[in-house]
Structure 1
């Protein structure tokens, strides 16, 4: 499984579309978490990021905030979205997700 987390300065950034880099974290069949690979995304335009991340075989995004249309586009590309996550290190968020302790709040994006 590959999980993408939008980041700024190495931690989750609250607004999905304005991230500096995506941390792509691979989790193997034994639930072992690999080191994040930080990748610069293409320019933010509607519909580009869902296809780009799908091509990288991402199946889950953990985000702070994301608009409804973006969530629909990710769903159309077979990528699950979790919003309302806190500004933490990618490895921490992935571990919390895997052990069921990821606490999410409100979706910080309303468009």
Structure 2
């Protein structure tokens, strides 16, 4: 099984839509057998689900993630573990052990209301300030 983690300097990166690097782990029998950091720079938040699919990833560990990205990942059958913080390697090990602390209801919380954005005021397909899959 391949597991990807939004990645920044060893930690789970907290904004899926702005993630520039993923650490992708190859696992067998609940053990990590290899890993590599892969750049997603230039993919844009709308293309990240396809980027992960092209790397044959089956599960994603991340911090905040928006509704559009959730839909895009669900459409390709990706297992999603949002709301994770801390060390990326330890998070994958915890997932494999069945002890990963995550929050399935975590949504992107990086909106900037001072810039004229009002949560809930946009519809599917609109730019959601990096917090969606479109």
1:68 aligns with 2:47: no
TM-score normalized by structure 2? 0.73
TM-score normalized by structure 1? 0.86
Gapped runs of 5+ residues in structure 1? Answer: none
> Structure 1 runs of 4+ off > 4 angstroms?
none
Gapped runs of 5+ residues in structure 2? Answer: 110-130
SS of structure 2 residue aligned to 1:57: coil
Q: Which has the larger radius of gyration?
A: 2
Q: Match for residue 97 of structure 1?
A: 95
Q: Match for residue 57 of structure 1?
A: 56
Q: Is the 1:35–1:91 Cα contact (8 Å) retained in structure 2?
A: no
Deviations 1:76-98 (A, max 9, x none): 1121111111121x221111011
Cα offset, 1:23, TM superposition? 0.1
Deviations 1:43-101 (A, max 9, x none): 2434311111101110000011100110100111121111111121x221111011121
- In the alignment of these two chains, the number of paired residues is 109
Cα offset, 1:13, TM superposition? 0.9
Give the CA RMSD over aligned residues.
Answer: 1.7
Q: Match for residue 22 of structure 2?
A: 22
